[in-house]
Structure 1
Amino acid sequence: MAKIYRRLNLFMAKPLDDGQMFTDLLADAPVDTYPMADTVGIDGVLCVRRSAEKRPSWGSLLDEVAGHDIPDLANRSSSAVLLLRVDGDVFAFTFGYGRHLIEQSLFVQDFGLRTALNTLDDKSLRSVDLHTLEDQPVQKKSQAARDSEVAIFGIDILRDILRAVTGVPKRGIGLKQIAGGDAMFSFGVEMEATDFPALARRIKTYYANDDYKTSFSWVDNVRKIKDDASIGTLNEQLVQAVCARNPGIMITLPEIGAWDTILGFSFTRNKDCVRPVIHSSDYLDTIPDLARLTIDGLKRDRLFVHDVDGNISEHPVYRCIYFEIVEGNKTKIIFDGKWYEVDATFIGRIAETLDLVQISTLAFPAVEVWNEEGKSKIESEGDYNTRAAAAHGYFLLDKKLVKTDRATSSIELCDLLTPAKQLVHVKHRKGGSAGLSHLFAQGGVAAEIMLGDKAFRKKARTVLRSVNPAARDLVPLSTLRSADYEIVFLILGEDSATLKQNLPFFSKVNLSKAFENLTQRGFRVSIAGAPTTPRLIT
């Protein structure tokens, strides 16, 4: 029989337990099973589900437009999966909507992506799907008009997780138009029915090698964990850590907050006990029986955010937890309700970069805290900046916006500017990781625009003159030397001595990125903390 071009999807199962059958790999869906024909030489089973014919939901609208029932408006979706054993491994070829028939958690989660990367020509990519690690994670898909190199897609190897990729295979692979994402590998090939075992065997060899490390080694830095079984195990470890009051448990605000409007935080079972900073103990102390805590309890309980106008927003505590689990040479991290696996080598590189970030020698006052009408209070970022500027002779640029056509909105040059050309960017630590990555990005953007945009410098000089005539010439109109400037990231509510090691991992990543980008442009970069102190009552 002549070979026919087919488009196929392939999954590889995790090893079966003793006594497990092919059909144990299926999700809970009714299927008809068929044995293999003797002529094809396949050790496997075919599972088919045919959905009932359904009239589309928009059919009645068209009936009304036409004035009578329109015949032959029907949807029918077909699903099938061929499960076969080859050399002790079990594979699944899916057809139609067949991928929904298998229990995804029972299949090797990186089989599709890794196989695609091992077989792709890195200069002939068509599209990439990325998940960017931010305080508000972003998913994006980039598609090129023609075969392109990986550099064309603007991937940030410190923050982007590659989720899927499509392109042209390398010479000698013998497949066409391949794609891979998570557990599924898709490809085109000329074949006949007897070729299924040989195809599975051949594609497993592509998965098993390390060719991807030549052009795509960065994909091992961080990967999102998706299979339910692994997530379930990690969630169990998380609950155990919470019950043991592990000091590594942090509860943070999972999104960027308007810090000057936030009054404080509280939790389920003590909603009215508003505190100006988030302490894990404020939540743990309210749980009536820690020993009986479950993951559902963490998802059900809430962190409440109270603002100065009396409004309250809320987030599941599970989404607010930051915690790291070290297993061998891998570190597992929960962040924004999602689990990630981080390579130890990558963590080491980030640590090496952070070691280069100096602690600022500038003087900053401590952040004031006090009690008022039975409630804990902490000094707002705006009030702190005003006090720090007055105490040390810094120029106050907080909320002094400069227009630019290089950003989507006007930006602050910095919060505080010293006569020695140190640009200080300030953010509270009180909400956890939520605003820190934004702080580092904000400082980097402002410095880069100041360096490269003469029109921005002209407008900045006008703003500086309005603050203090002596400040104007700290930003020259022409010939700005980046080496004359120091970018200082000041975090309120944390001592300088412990600041770097106490940053959440993804904030460390973004600080490392900002440091490398700014120092490559010639700026000096440092970081500083301002601990809390009781306000003196006069």
Structure 2
Amino acid sequence: MDKKPYLLLNAFLAKKEHASLNIADFLKDNAQVNAYELDSQHELEGKLFVKVPEAKKPKWSGFTEKLTGVSIDELGNQSSSAVLIIKTNDYTMAFTFGYGRFLIDTKYFIQDFGIKTALNTLNHDSLRSVDLYTLEDQAVQKKSQASRESGVGIFGIDISKDVLRAVTGSPKAGVDLKNISGGDSVFSFGIEINVDEISDLVSVLAGYYNNDSYKDGFSWVDNIRRVKENSEIDKLNDKLVDALKNDQSKISITIPEIIQWDTIWGFSFTRNKSSINPTIEEKHYFNHLDLISLSIESIKRDRLFVYDTYENENEYNMYKCMYFEFKESDKTYILFSGFWYEIDNSFMSRIDSSLEQIELSTLPFPKVYAWDEIEDGKTKSKIETEGDYNERAANDHGYYLLDKKLIKSDRTTTAIELCDLMTEDKQFIHVKHRKGGSAGLSHLFAQGSVSAEVLLGDRNFRKVTRKVLKKVKVGLQDSVSIDGFKSDGVEVVFLILGEDSISLKENLPFFSKVNLTKTHENLTQRGFSVSVAGVEKEERPSA
């Protein structure tokens, strides 16, 4: 018997609702291809489409030809791309070659076919690499590669905020494929196969997709899914426009990246740029919208302007600044940093349940001052800085001021604060404005978590901390022993300025909820108590 040829294939499974489309309709409208009928002896329904070749010189050819003074014909690149589309009684599948994936219109294909099929066919202890989106202040792409086949635990995945994009590994027992890789809609693999076996392969791959065996080790991948299909994004964007027209209370505006909050003094919006406020006031944007002509395109043209103390002005695409969350059926959809995510409602329920376990602090805190000032003939809104607020809270309630008192640790890359405020009862209070949305809050939770963990685990840090505390008040250093320090009786308090305690947990953006619950879980497992508090704004008293 002749040995079957070995092929590396990339497969895409079409959605069943598009089964009636003509085969050529699965290609992009602008695809420049030659179509080839399949030999009737194979009894296959389908076509092969090959991209019309186009010779291109690389961008650096001009530099090299200038060096030589002559045209270098060998530098002409000509790539080959093809796509084979096969229809069976039950499925339509595309197999791409070269850059053939760029010939098909992905809106007709199942978005998670690649990643789910890979997880259903891989030996979960044979992983070689994983690609992730980590969702914190913004989506960060990560690729991790192991030096040998490994289980998922080696990659340090955080199932509460990591979105699995792609995975590679070896097949599990009974799967007659090799070199498996899957991400989003594309499933890649090696196989020894004859042409006449293509129809059977379509059914086999569809069967691998249509089971849930991946849930034995990867059920968490259903927690969060990034929405990539344009038609689905368009529907979700319509929901956003509808909410802007009818229920703006469901939308908040945040800065889509980490910035140096201590240097920021104001914000304004397109069509109301001269009205600068110390916090992001959504109503100043919403009230100036032209609701009749409102569209996603007009939102993307709008800008959030950010001003710092050095008189620099930065601007952000308003669409990327919007946080919008709504429920539909058994899913929750979130617009975050310009991307849509689908959150499983059971996962949402677990996060909300975890939030309920976090206590509200019983400590008294003053409200944060806000006022208007006239500068250069213009009225500008102001809000108390964190530093000024911390100093006032310390004076009003007898707290100890530790703001900006940095302590070095061998376990952190930079010196850190023990906390902003402290009580004699070993309550470490970390303070942050709500004015910038989720980015500042994530920094707040991380600050409290790192400080507590270093305090517990770094003897030298405790030694230096005692010196700092003694300078603040003699005897305060007894709160932190050099040896035998225990977390029992130590409370970490997160204080958010500009948000009432009662509504605080409910009004957090989803990914801030995730970060807070994760921080609470980590610290309570180490024996710390954790609580949150919020204070509203009030008019600053006259001098």
Shorter-chain TM-score bucket reads: over 0.9
Which residue is 1:134 aligned to?
A: 136
- How far is 1:52 from its partner? 1.4
Which residue is 1:246 aligned to?
A: 248
**Matched position secondary structure for 2:533:** strand
* 1:234 is the counterpart of 2:236: yes
Which residue is 2:43 aligned to?
A: 41
Answer whether contact 1:255 1:435 (CA < 8 A) is retained. Answer: no
Answer whether contact 1:252 1:320 (CA < 8 A) is retained. Answer: yes
Quote the Cα distance in structure 2 between the aligned partners of 1:311 and 1:131. Answer: 31
- How far is 1:219 from its partner? 0.5
Quote the Cα distance in structure 1 between the aligned partners of 2:74 and 2:46. Answer: 37
Q: Report the RMSD for the aligned CA atoms in angstroms.
A: 1.4
- How far is 1:68 from its partner? 5.0
Quote the Cα distance in structure 1 between the aligned partners of 2:106 and 2:465. Answer: 55
Which residue is 1:260 aligned to?
A: 262
* 1:453 is the counterpart of 2:454: no
Question: Which residues in structure 2 correspond to 1:110-259 (within 5 Å)?
Answer: 110-259=112-261
- How far is 1:149 from its partner? 0.6
Q: Which amino acid is the alignment partner of residue 390 of structure 1?
A: N
Q: What are the superposed Cα offsets for residues 445-470 of structure 1, whole Å, 9 maximum, x if unpaired?
A: 11111111111111222222233333
**Matched position secondary structure for 1:72:** helix
Which residue is 1:87 aligned to?
A: 89
Answer whether contact 1:305 1:313 (CA < 8 A) is retained. Answer: yes
Which residue is 1:10 aligned to?
A: 11
Q: What are the superposed Cα offsets for residues 470-516 of structure 1, whole Å, 9 maximum, x if unpaired?
A: 32222111111111200100000011111000101110000010000
Which residue is 2:419 aligned to?
A: 414
Shift >3 Å, 4+ stretches: 16-19, 59-71
**Matched position secondary structure for 1:169:** coil
Quote the Cα distance in structure 2 between the aligned partners of 1:197 and 1:17. Answer: 18
Answer whether contact 2:19 2:91 (CA < 8 A) is retained. Answer: no
**Matched position secondary structure for 2:454:** helix
Which residue is 1:315 aligned to?
A: 316
- How far is 1:17 from its partner? 4.5
Which residue is 2:301 aligned to?
A: 300
Quote the Cα distance in structure 1 between the aligned partners of 2:310 and 2:71. Answer: 56
TM normalised by structure 1 equals 0.97
Which residue is 1:509 aligned to?
A: 514
Quote the Cα distance in structure 2 between the aligned partners of 1:400 and 1:485. Answer: 20
**Matched position secondary structure for 2:148:** strand
Quote the Cα distance in structure 2 between the aligned partners of 1:467 and 1:253. Answer: 36
Q: What are the superposed Cα offsets for residues 213-246 of structure 1, whole Å, 9 maximum, x if unpaired?
A: 0000110111110111100110011011101133
- How far is 1:69 from its partner? 4.7
Q: What are the superposed Cα offsets for residues 14-59 of structure 1, whole Å, 9 maximum, x if unpaired?
A: 2354863111111121111111111122111111103312233333
* 1:52 is the counterpart of 2:57: no
Q: What are the superposed Cα offsets for residues 339-379 of structure 1, whole Å, 9 maximum, x if unpaired?
A: 00000110011011101000001111100111111221111
Structure 1 residues 144 and 280 mapped into 2: Cα distance closer, same or farther (>3 Å)? same
Quote the Cα distance in structure 1 between the aligned partners of 2:36 and 2:206. Answer: 25
> Structure 2: which 5+ residue stretches go unaligned?
none
Quote the Cα distance in structure 2 between the aligned partners of 1:252 and 1:71. Answer: 53
Answer whether contact 2:445 2:494 (CA < 8 A) is retained. Answer: yes
Structure 1 residues 421 and 225 mapped into 2: Cα distance closer, same or farther (>3 Å)? same
Answer whether contact 2:459 2:483 (CA < 8 A) is retained. Answer: yes
**Matched position secondary structure for 1:484:** coil
Quote the Cα distance in structure 1 between the aligned partners of 2:140 and 2:19. Answer: 41
Quote the Cα distance in structure 2 between the aligned partners of 1:211 and 1:423. Answer: 46
Which range is displaced more, 401-410 or 250-259? 250-259
Quote the Cα distance in structure 1 between the aligned partners of 2:370 and 2:401. Answer: 22
Q: Which amino acid is the alignment partner of residue 255 of structure 1?
A: E
Given candidates 457, 467, 471, the residue that maps to 2:472 is 467
**Matched position secondary structure for 2:174:** coil
Q: Which amino acid is the alignment partner of residue 404 of structure 1?
A: S
Q: What are the superposed Cα offsets for residues 132-166 of structure 1, whole Å, 9 maximum, x if unpaired?
A: 00113211100001100100000001111000000
**Matched position secondary structure for 2:249:** coil
The percent identity for this pair of structures is: 53
Answer whether contact 2:13 2:109 (CA < 8 A) is retained. Answer: yes
> Structure 1: which 5+ residue stretches go unaligned?
none
Answer whether contact 1:259 1:380 (CA < 8 A) is retained. Answer: no
Q: Which amino acid is the alignment partner of residue 478 of structure 1?
A: D
**Matched position secondary structure for 2:232:** helix
Quote the Cα distance in structure 1 between the aligned partners of 2:95 and 2:21. Answer: 19
TM normalised by structure 2 equals 0.96
**Matched position secondary structure for 2:277:** coil
**Matched position secondary structure for 2:292:** helix
**Matched position secondary structure for 2:502:** helix
Given candidates 496, 499, 506, the residue that maps to 1:494 is 499
- How far is 1:258 from its partner? 2.6
* 1:278 is the counterpart of 2:283: no
Quote the Cα distance in structure 2 between the aligned partners of 1:249 and 1:468. Answer: 46
Aligned residues: 537
Which range is displaced more, 22-31 or 9-18? 9-18
